């Protein structure tokens, strides 16, 4: 008889977030360095990534509905995480993150706890946007360290 691989129960649940629509929340205690959720989607080259991102941004200008879920994998590839099944896309930004994105074997992106996370705590990471469009990305995380915009900490 072949072994049956049991689906591991997620360490998080999707709930309404005061930061931005929906977010991921710890269902249980999550120890520092725990791999929590993989950011999944279609692997696309930089040209296609930029085309899709610009298309969504143009749509957002007209109806405010679009979200861009492009995640940089490396110098050549991005992951388009605009899939309902990609719950990792719901991890919101904070200037005081409790998770970080890590690339595994140059092909997977995982959110990993940077400190112990208590049950019920929302999962956050620093989106780390470049400085060239900082005015387009106001931050509403409300933490003591909040700089008011979603930019990489090196620009603070």
The model's pTM: 0.85
pLDDT tens profile 79-133: 999 999 999 999 999 999 999 999 998 889 999 999 999 999 999 999 888 888 7
How far apart CA 115 and CA 112 sit, in angstroms, is 9
Residues 6+ positions from 107 with CB-CB distance below 8 Å: 43, 73
Nearest CA to 94 out of 155, 10, 19, 4 is that of 19
The model's pLDDT over 15-40, given as tens digits with 9 standing for 90+, comes to 999 888 899 999 999 999 999 999 99
């Amino acid at each position: 008889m072949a072994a049956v691989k049991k689906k591991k129960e997620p360490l998080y649940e999707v709930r309404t977030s005061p930061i931005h629509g929906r977010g991921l929340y710890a269902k249980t205690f999550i120890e520092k360095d725990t791999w929590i959720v993989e950011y999944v989607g279609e692997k696309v080259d930089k040209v296609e990534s930029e085309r899709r991102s610009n298309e969504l941004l143009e749509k957002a200008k007209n109806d405010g509905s679009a979200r861009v879920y492009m995640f940089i994998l490396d110098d050549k590839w991005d992951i388009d995480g605009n899939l309902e099944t990609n719950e990792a896309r719901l991890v919101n930004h904070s200037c005081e993150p409790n998770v970080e994105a890590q690339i595994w074997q140059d092909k997977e992106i995982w959110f990993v706890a940077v400190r112990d996370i208590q049950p019920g705590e929302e999962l956050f990471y620093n989106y780390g946007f470049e400085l060239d469009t900082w005015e387009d990305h106001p931050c509403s995380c409300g933490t003591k360290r909040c700089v008011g915009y979603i930019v990489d900490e090196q620009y603070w």
